[in-house]
Structure 1
Amino acid sequence: MIKSVAAYCTDLLTSSKCAALPFHNVQHTKEVVQNVKYLCAAMDINEHNTEVLLVAAWFHDTGFSKTYKGHEDESKSIATHFLKKEKVDKDFIDKVNNCIDATKMPQCPTTALAEVLCDADIFHISNSHFFYRKLLLRREWEVYCDNKVTDLEWHKLNLEFLKKHHFRTDYGKDILEQGKQENILKVEQILRYYDC
């Protein structure tokens, strides 16, 4: 099933308005899928739950094809429609939708599976990709949310986000948190230039 989900979501993300998004595009979705695979292997998550998470990862941003604000609800609707056509049982669909729902900012996962998708979705804040990805997000907000800020405001926003964010899984708390703390120090260093 993962192959048909991947093909469907890739097509949707590359043929809809998602294709024009600097951040929430097919590249981001593929990264989240890879992050899910990585976390599931590292945390020894069973095959069934890994499948739930992979399906949720593929669908989690497909709602951007319909709307920017509240895209998660659209993503759940798209996932439900597709999975019902594939004769997937209700319990599986409910788990997928619970995971997608949890990726709303601020993240509020209510299950262990949802915690994994949340950490996979925000994985980049724990590594050097963060600085590239946040440039793309800034551009996306400028174009699609009419949210223009100065460089100083942007760095302050990022610092606040990093400091408020909490990884949910044990792996996130033990491993990813270290990289996030390094990025906090880097953003603080950038902000020092503005104090000169």
Structure 2
Amino acid sequence: MMTTMMIKNVATYCTEVLTTSKCKELPFHNLIHTKEVVQNVKYLCAAMDIDDKDTEILIVAAWFHDTGFSKVYKGHEEESKRIATAYLRKQNANQDFIDKVCNCIEATKMPQCPTTALAELLCDADIFHISNAHFFYRKLLLRREWEVFCNNKVTDLEWHRLNLDFLQKHHFSTAYGKDTLEQGKQENISKVKQILNYFDT
């Protein structure tokens, strides 16, 4: 079990990685997103009455989950796991703790396929924004990121269709996600459909 000081050290380390590497150039997968995911984890852990030990695992996993973008774009989860493992071993974290952190990080790969309750919670925290009004701002940033870093340029119509398809296919994993976040996601689905109504199809 990690201490509060250890979590602070993890936060400091990951903040440095995310602000001194190519991550700082990413419109979406940057420090702001990571901080949001950490806050979402804390919120969900409180709402779902997750114990301190598991909360610590999830907070650490949230901090590390996108650090791999500092090395590669595609397949960044593997790099994130390597970065987390190397750091946590230096901090004398036990292997079980490291394995659980890495399992959570692995699960955030799209399409999300969590295999544990902890991984389910991190996945919902990572995609939390699709359940609220931030979705429309965040997807603008993601579109720009894909254009610049993936050379993936699409028309407005194609983009809105992609978003509708993603929202309709995605399923929250936790009970809280299914009961509460799903409602906001359905509202965003309705809004994207309204946007698509303005296009001649």
TM-score by length of 2: 0.97
Other-structure match for 1:11: 16
Distance 2:178 2:74 in 1: 29
Structure-2 residue corresponding to 1:79: 84
Alignment match, 2:125? 120
Q: 1:150 aligns with which of 140, 149, 155?
A: 155
- Cα deviation, 1:143-164, whole Å, max 9, x if unaligned, reads 0000000000000000000000
Q: What fraction of aligned residue pairs are identical, expressed as a percent?
A: 78
Counterpart Cα distance in 2 of 1:62 and 1:22: 14
Q: 2:102 aligns with which of 89, 93, 97?
A: 97
RMSD (Å), alpha carbons: 0.6
Q: Give the corresponding residue for 2:198.
A: 193
1:164 maps to which of 166, 169, 175: 169
Ranges of 4+ aligned residues in structure 1 off by more than 2 Å: none
Offset of residue 195 of structure 1: 2.9
Alignment of 1:26 with 2:31, yes or no, is yes
Number of residue pairs the alignment of both structures matches: 196
Q: Distance in 2 between matches of 1:159 and 1:69?
A: 23
Distance 1:94 1:192 in 2: 47
- 1:46 pairs with 51, 71, 75, which one? 51
Which of 167, 180, 186 aligns to 2:185? It is: 180
Shift of 1:69: 0.4
Letter in 1 for 2:75: G
3-state SS of paired residue (2:115):
coil
Q: Which amino acid aligns with 2:48?
A: M
SS at match of 2:112: coil
